[in-house]
Structure 1
Amino acid sequence: MREDRLALTHVGEHQSDYLNAVTPPVFLNSLHIFEDMDGYLNNGKTGAYVYGRVANPTVHILEEKVAALEQGCTAVAFASGMAATSAAILAVCKAGSHIICMRDVYGPVKGILNGYFIPKMNMTVSYWDGRDLGELEGLICDETDMILLESPATFVFCAVDIRGVAKIAKEHGIRTYIDNTYCTPIYQKPLTMGIDIVMHTMSKYIGGHSDIIGGILAVKDEELGNVLKGNIRAWFGGIIGPMEAWLAIRGLRTLNLRVERHQQTAMAVAEFLESHPKVTRVFYSGLASHPQAELIGTQQTGHTGLLSFIVKGTAEQAKNLVDSLKVFEIGCSWGGFESLALCPLYAASGEELDFLGLGEEGRSMIRIHCGLEGADVLIEDLKQAFERI
């Protein structure tokens, strides 16, 4: 879309404010000074910058861009994706709140719910498979304040009916949150479908070069945005650093071009894997064989570079296949220029595998990120690795 391209390249930038430099500078200062006491005392009314823990000019440019991309009114940048997620929960919930969390969300999100919010803040959490809206409604109680989503979800890339969940939540006065890192704002805009808070881990596609850690939240509700920025982030001190914000701005310049190439490569690789005799199943939201292809077509306009597949064999054979790859490197993140492979559930407990609905075959799952090396290069690498098992 034209608006997206303009947001990536121009929104939030005012060259006349910094000597007409085509690229905005990195404001590394911790402090801003004032000409007189009246200016200092009125900074809340004028929106002037005061202290780096609260706001920073470079960070603000990044926030303006992401807010525009997500079609929200406000975006708030944090030092990591988990800092952003934690801030969203703190902004919405209180001691004793009930949260409904999609079963397949990012593992550390479940970790902080189970390890901190439940024991320390007396919250309760119900886990939901993300598919049955009737089951979702059945989990709602008087204390339910928030629903946490991710779509497509980690590992098996199942999709959530975003509009359906948002409708149910609004009927009950419940806030909704979604991790939109996989699709990026280029291929999915949850705020336009009724979601309250959208989160991106910026170490992935927004950064795009595997050189930053950061997270960002986007909202349509100005009051909620003020709570996230003026209260939660300022009080807890979770703002992203200006250098990381500048690198994220750099990453945004080419986001639409990169995700298109990631998608092209991943589609070719997924189709290759789907036809391979040593593969049992392929999980990729772009495949026509995806069981939720119809739903995905109503809320995503594209797909990116992450997918999983299950090797027809033992967990040890899957591990050996990963070790045999020469172009794919072994690493836990994704979304950068490089291709990565991992057996994410190789050492998982039986309880975790059952929780994810995969069973023992989940140990033979390989997750890959298709980088920018080209589909022909990656397919050849997979071919030679398959020949070794």
Structure 2
Amino acid sequence: MSSEKSTAADDRRFETLSVTYGEEPDLSNGVGDVTSPIHLASTYTVEGIDMDTALEDLDPEADEFLYTRLSNPTRHAVEKRIAALEGGDHAMAFASGTSAVVSTVMAAVEPGDHVVAFEDLYGGTNTMLKELFRDRLNVAVDFVDATDPENVRAATTEETALLWMETPTNPLLRLCDIEAMAAVADECDALLGVDNTFMGPYFQRPLELGADVVVHSTTKYINGHSDSLGGVAVLSDDEYAREIGFLQQVGMGNVMAPFDAYMVLRGMKTLPLRMAQHETNAAEVAAYLESHDRVSAVHYPGLDSHPQHDLADDQMDGHGGVLSFELDGGLDAVERFVAALEEFTLAVSLGGVESLIEHPASMTHSPLPAEERAELGITDSLLRVSVGVEHPKDLVADLERGFEAMVAGEGSATDAEADAPEASPGDD
């Protein structure tokens, strides 16, 4: 994939940038750390009083630091590396993926503006757009089926300031055509934001396809070890970057902590290796599930059966490590299935080296009303899987264990019904 891919940073390949970019050893202190130290200081010494230097004039590139909320050497290394991997000029690292989304959207809109969003978004983003931006900040929000660009075009108005997309979506792995979305955004003079958390820059780089800004929950694949919370926004427009940076540092002060930044730097060193194995394993798990007679549907862009498989091949360099599937059974069957698993842990989140499974209707998408979940296709029998880097044969064997428990439970229920005494004519 990306062994032949260079980024906007320089002519080095993705794999090289992921290990070293932004973290060059500093010999000026006589130590020369190979990896960036964790800079925990909350404030920094300045050389003297300078009436001509404002806060916004500080340049972290020149090692000018004043206060960690404004800039921190460890966080700055993260920002430089992720910007290089996504091919952007600017990156701002936040305390969470949610805070990255909030700040990015807030920097793009003002009261009276209009947002068009993919209807199949992460439940937290969906709720945020409704309850924060629509209900409190007077920003109109329309959710549409963005698998068809014409639906997005038809939803735009003269007030549309932002198109907000996830691709693939959470949890149904639906895609939107990023280049087509960029064209629609240009037509209505709006910005295009893309949440790239599911693919990461190894498999998809939306800025290259016309997006104005890309966000990630670094908690997921960017860090990759389920032990750090964070988010990032990446873009190239200087003015938009200043607006997001103001919210990050001053407006809300919601910055990535130094220790989390250190963990993300460490995680990115193995990003290409991990992503390749995630995809290999997910492809094998998806093929197994699609062939199982107790699975009614599998949602994974790498399958030929995915309705947007060709689009996935066109705009992505791989298909990722997340999939979802529908069990042929009710909620009781789902509960028996997940309870029997030993390798897949029942937990929210994704993108770590360990395999996780979650039930969207009762977990990540529980904030959505039941009728809205039904409209989106999030049924009680839907399960989402983040396929880790374990041996795929062990993961398939674990899923088989779940199916065996599901079927055994159905047999027990049938036996119990058969053993139940017949009701007498006088019984109610």
Q: What TM-score results when the alignment is normalised by the length of structure 2?
A: 0.87
Return the alpha-carbon distance in structure 1 between the equivalents of residues 58 and 157 of structure 2: 42
Kept in 2: contact 1:103–1:127 (CA 8 A): yes
| 1:308-337 per-position Cα deviation (integer Å, ceiling 9, x unaligned) | 110111122012101111111110111111
Question: SS in structure 2 opposite 1:307?
Answer: strand
Q: CA deviation at 1:76?
A: 0.5
Match of 1:119 in 2: 135
Based on CA coordinates, which of the two structures has the bigger radius of gyration? Answer: 2
2:372 is aligned, of 352, 377, 387, to 352
1:7 is aligned, of 17, 41, 54, to 17
Q: 1:45 to 1:293 in 2, by over 3 A?
A: same
Kept in 2: contact 1:76–1:218 (CA 8 A): yes
Question: SS in structure 1 opposite 2:15?
Answer: helix
Q: Which runs of 5+ in 1 are unaligned?
A: none
Question: SS in structure 1 opposite 2:38?
Answer: coil
Structure-to-structure mapping, 1:60-99, within 5 angstroms: 60-99=76-115
**Pairing 1:21–2:38 present:** no
Match of 2:249 in 1: 233
Return the alpha-carbon distance in structure 2 between the equivalents of residues 121 and 43 of structure 1: 28
Q: Which 10-residue stretch deviates more, 128-137 or 252-261?
A: 128-137
| 1:126-183 per-position Cα deviation (integer Å, ceiling 9, x unaligned) | 0011112112111111111111100010111011010000011012110111110110
Match of 1:298 in 2: 314
Q: Which runs of 5+ in 2 are unaligned?
A: 4-12, 407-428
1:377 is aligned, of 394, 400, 407, to 394
Return the alpha-carbon distance in structure 1 between the equivalents of residues 57 and 174 of structure 2: 46
**Pairing 1:158–2:156 present:** no
Question: SS in structure 1 opposite 2:223?
Answer: coil
Question: SS in structure 1 opposite 2:405?
Answer: coil
Q: CA deviation at 1:349?
A: 4.4
Return the alpha-carbon distance in structure 2 between the equivalents of residues 299 and 373 of structure 1: 27
Q: CA deviation at 1:49?
A: 1.1
Q: 1:38 to 1:102 in 2, by over 3 A?
A: same
Q: 1:40 to 1:49 in 2, by over 3 A?
A: farther
1:173 is aligned, of 189, 210, 216, to 189
Kept in 2: contact 1:75–1:216 (CA 8 A): yes
Q: CA deviation at 1:33?
A: 1.3
Structure-to-structure mapping, 1:202-213, within 5 angstroms: 202-213=218-229
Return the alpha-carbon distance in structure 1 between the equivalents of residues 125 and 171 of structure 2: 15
**Pairing 1:364–2:349 present:** no
Kept in 1: contact 2:24–2:34 (CA 8 A): no
Amino acid at match of 1:266: A
1:272 is aligned, of 288, 306, 312, to 288
| 1:31-79 per-position Cα deviation (integer Å, ceiling 9, x unaligned) | 1111211398366545121111111111010000010111010010000
Return the alpha-carbon distance in structure 2 between the equivalents of residues 289 and 25 of structure 1: 47
Return the alpha-carbon distance in structure 1 between the equivalents of residues 278 and 306 of structure 2: 19
Match of 2:279 in 1: 263
Match of 1:38 in 2: 50
Number of aligned residues? 386
Return the alpha-carbon distance in structure 1 between the equivalents of residues 251 and 55 of structure 2: 18
Kept in 2: contact 1:322–1:343 (CA 8 A): no
| 1:13-42 per-position Cα deviation (integer Å, ceiling 9, x unaligned) | 231255311011111011111121139836
Kept in 2: contact 1:90–1:232 (CA 8 A): no
Return the alpha-carbon distance in structure 1 between the equivalents of residues 95 and 109 of structure 2: 21
Q: CA deviation at 1:90?
A: 1.0
Q: 1:357 to 1:381 in 2, by over 3 A?
A: closer
**Pairing 1:184–2:204 present:** no
Kept in 2: contact 1:59–1:245 (CA 8 A): yes
Question: SS in structure 2 opposite 1:388?
Answer: helix
Match of 1:250 in 2: 266
